[in-house]
Amino acid sequence: ITVHFKCRGGLYPRSNVQRFPVPDDKVSWSTEYKEYQPRNHTASSIRGQPWADPNIGEPGFNPQWNAMDGKVNRASYMGQYSIKDGYPLNPIGRTGITGRGVLGRWGPNHAADPVVTRWKRNDNGVIEKDKQNNKPILQCVVIKRRDTGEWALPGGMVDPGEKMSATAVREFQEEAMNSLVMTDDQKVPLVEKFKKFFSEGDEIYQGYIDDHRNTDNAWMETIAYNFHDNSGSTVGALKLHAGDDAVGVQWVDITPDINLYASHKNVVMLVYQKCLSHFSQSDS
């Protein structure tokens, strides 16, 4: 990602704060924008949350920018970000709003996204081909987000100290398998059954996410892993259940006109390229 669109213009989510307009050619910090007067907004709901930073300047809060800060990762996949007047600057550029909005961390907010895939098959188990280009059709699991109603990867925030691949698997279980409401008796055998599958993820993308919650001083970054069920017999055959902040879940065909939350389409397209390049005729 080298530009952002979804975090520019319009109202900031869950607020009545209007973003200051940022034309395409004024996104970059290196372009002068004299008129730029973004409003400052940090949602009161994040105050005191265990996952949120204090305000900048509060006694005892000495963030280590661009580094591992205890268990909190304040390093960016985008390289060194700058600090201006004590505040980290969005590495892509202006968003029309300062503060943290609803994001917990100043600077990068690290998430992990699982991209769980299978080939689309007909009732006889034969892989279906795209009529236009005769290529096999790849499907991935998407969830419907409660907050925006958009379809998205079932990702989530990395807990302090948590391994990022573990975040991706945990979020899949919570949002696409509804593991949070399972008893241990239900969960343990299921987790055990898919242990091997979820231990073989391919790292696909790490970087900025054009998320509508981003601000000039706080933004989403993710690491995305692909878990591919080539035979369609493991997770590909599982009955999905939406859970936690997801209100729907489905397998969706990955096509060029797919419409997903934030910049998840970019991530999914990278996965599509990878799986297609590994596809062999013996798979069908």
Report the interface residues with ligand RP5, using CB under 6 A. 111, 113, 152-153, 155-157, 209, 211, 220, 222, 262
- What does 97 bind: Mg ion, ligand RP5, none (CB cut-off 5 to 8 Å by kind)? none
CB of residue 154 to Mg ion, shortest distance in Å: 6
- What does 216 bind: ligand RP5, Mg ion, none (CB cut-off 5 to 8 Å by kind)? none
Q: Please report, as residue ranges, which positions from 237 to 266 form the binding site for Mg ion (by CB under 5 A).
A: 244
Which of 156, 201, 236, 243 forms a contact with Mg ion (CB under 5 A)?
A: 156
Beta carbons of 121 and 161 less than 8 angstroms apart: no
- Residues contacting 115, CB < 8 A, separation 6+: 140, 141, 153, 204, 224, 225, 226, 227, 267, 268, 271
Beta bridge partners of 218: 107
**DSSP labels, 37-81:** -PEEEE-GGGTT-TTS---TT-TT----TTSEETTEE---TTSPP
Beta carbons of 177 and 157 less than 8 angstroms apart: no
Using Cβ positions, the residue closest to Mg ion within the complex turns out to be 156
Q: How far is CA 172 from the centre of its chain?
A: 12
CB of residue 265 to Mg ion, shortest distance in Å: 17
CB of residue 245 to Mg ion, shortest distance in Å: 5
Give the count of alpha carbons within 13 A of 206, CB side only: 13
CB of residue 153 to ligand RP5, shortest distance in Å: 5
Taking CB under 5 A as the rule, does residue 91 contact Mg ion? no
DSSP 8-state class, residue 167:
H
- What does 42 bind: ligand RP5, Mg ion, none (CB cut-off 5 to 8 Å by kind)? none
Contact positions vs Mg ion (CB under 5 A): 156, 171, 244
